[in-house]
Chain A
Amino acid sequence: MKRETLVWTIVFVIGGVMLLANAFLRGAGNQYVRVDERAFVNVGTDDDPKWVNAGSDDILDHDAATISADRRVSWKTSSTVDARVWAEAERADPGQRTIVFSLSRTVGTWLAALFTLAILSFLYRDNPFYKSAESIIVGVSAAYWMVVGFWDTLVPILFANIVPELVKGTVMPGISDSPAMDARIKALVALVLGALLLCRLLPKGGWISRWPMAFIIGAFCGLRLIAFLHADFLSQISNSIIPLWVVDPATQTFDIWSSLENITLIAGVLACLVYFFFSIEHKGVVGRTARVGIWFLMITFGAAFGYTVMGRIALLAMRLEFLFEDWLWLVDPAGRHAIG
């Protein structure tokens, strides 16, 4: 065995033993859930069902006891609670079944921690753990987006207008089963264009996908043309028309600092714009102004760098908080794990 492999094996074994000890002795990483049962009773008929929550006062208006089992539905929901809440419930009523240990969420927490460590392991060097996690996220993300697009847009906006009876009878019982004719026509146009777009996946005849692509590009250009000219061009010129001689409204005296700020702001915008103007050679006055423009841009980029660093560190802090607080229970700033 190579020396490096031996060292890593020892590190993994010791780390694993410590993690297991932490988990079994302290319960670190354990997840608990509050289980609620939802029960409903059909007090109407099979053709015209009327569901009443069995836990609500409405059920008292009906003779629920006589309603057969096939007209009842129930399921359980679970919401994560802190370990402290579970411990308090156990102290008050040992063996209670309302707040219980959740195996699936505990396994999930451990898996999430292992994925976090797998990604972080890339800092040392590329390795199969990182590559596997990377491959998983590529597949999961693509499918996630597909599922979200299907349920959130295609079903309620497209299919609900094309096959309303099917959608109403299965996934969206509340919708109308007779949508307006213009909505149906639009949905059909979208369906045809969508089908043409998917032709891109075919080995031959992919050119037909240019039609929906042209629709997307045309609509996108039309949207952006106006929005950018309005919000980012005209409005920015308007925002730059500010007083260079500022008077303090409270004291009615000249405010030198605000005036200087406004003058610098206008001068900066103009200098940067001169720098962006490449049709004239940057020489003489233009060259010197453009150079001032570069300085302003450098300050802008410096500020952007500072803010970017800030953002990245906040993301790292969140991941480490997950490892230390949710998984390893090394810190407990809000008293979530105090089970002693």
Chain B
Amino acid sequence: MQRTVPLLIAIVCGFTMIVSFFIPAAQRSGDDVAEIFNILAAVAFVLGGGNLLKIHLKKVSDQAAGWGYSLITVTAFLLTLCVGLFKIGANPADRYPGHAWSGEYSETGSAFWWIYEFVFKPITATMFAMLAFYVASAAFRAFRAKNTEAVLLLGTAFIILLGRTYAGVILTDWLPDSLSGLRFENLTMTIMNVFNTAGSRAIMIGIALGTASVSLKILLGVDRSYLGGGRG
């Protein structure tokens, strides 16, 4: 029950999707599976939120190290959740003015929009922007031309960095037209269209084969690791 039923569910769902690709008559079944899959993805968001709450509430109740930050997380979570679920500050939709709850929950000017605009957006955007600093530090400390492979990597990075800005034009614009292929901007295009395409295509083919084999192993019941432990 604990292992056989889920195994059967996975096999049936997986093969329904595959068959729906080849047989038009089975397409509707494939769409049904996709529709339920999409709904479960939304439930997974709820599960994620619930899990976060569970972990941090435990930390707070145990007064574990850093529980104060967990309290901040829980407060921010509950506040955002209430504001969003109760559509605080959102107006009714113009089409349905008689229904107070008909408006868009993240409408500009609503409380949920305010949290997005002034809390969510600056923090997430700045966190990713920080990588600019770390990539600079890594370039200074870790990028070493130790061998041929490293030289190729470094050389390509140089050309791309310069060729994708006006710096490339400033540095190599003096080259005559007969050597225009050596201008940084043109070298960049050659690298991307030829060398990068070759490397990326090989990686893509490798990943495709890997994905197909893992999928087949799961659908044929060879790989059951997703079922975890327990009795069958």
Contacts and interface: CB of A to CB of B under 8 A. Distances in A.
* A–B contact at 8 Å CB threshold (below): yes
B22 to A, nearest CB: 8
A146 B203 CA distance: 35
A218 B9 contact: yes
Interface string B1-24: 011011101111111111001000
Given A141-B120, A147-B112, A219-B33, A302 B152 contact: yes
A115 B195 contact: no
Interface in B76-115: 76-81, 84-85, 91-92, 94-99, 101-102, 105-106, 108-109, 112, 114-115
A218 B219 contact: yes
B92 to A, nearest CB: 7
Nearest to A148: B45
B156 A306 contact: yes
A229 B212 CA distance: 7
A245 interface: no
Interface in B141-179: 148-150, 152-157, 159-161, 164
A272 B198 contact: yes
Contacts of B40: 190, 193-194, 197, 212, 215-216
B85 A150 contact: yes
B84 A157 contact: no
B18 A316 contact: no
A275 B215 CA distance: 24
A213 interface: yes
B80 A214 contact: no
B17 A222 contact: yes
Contacts of A108: 114, 117-118
B125 interface: yes
A318 B129 contact: yes
A330 interface: no
Given A51-B98, A268-B199, A139 B52 contact: yes
Interface string A115-144: 110011011000000011111111111111
Interface in B184-232: 190-209, 211-212, 214-216, 218-219, 226-228, 230
A312 B132 contact: yes
B77 A197 contact: no
A111 B123 CA distance: 10
6 contacts: A38-B94, A134-B69, A190-B35, A236-B204, A296-B195, A303-B157
Interface of A: 38, 40, 42, 49, 51, 53, 73, 75, 77-79, 104-105, 108-109, 111-113, 115-116, 119-120, 122-123, 131-154, 157-158, 169-174, 186-187, 189-190, 193-194, 197-198, 200-201, 207, 210-226, 228-229, 231-233, 236-237, 239-240, 257, 261, 264-269, 271-273, 275-276, 293-310, 312-313, 315-316, 318-319, 322
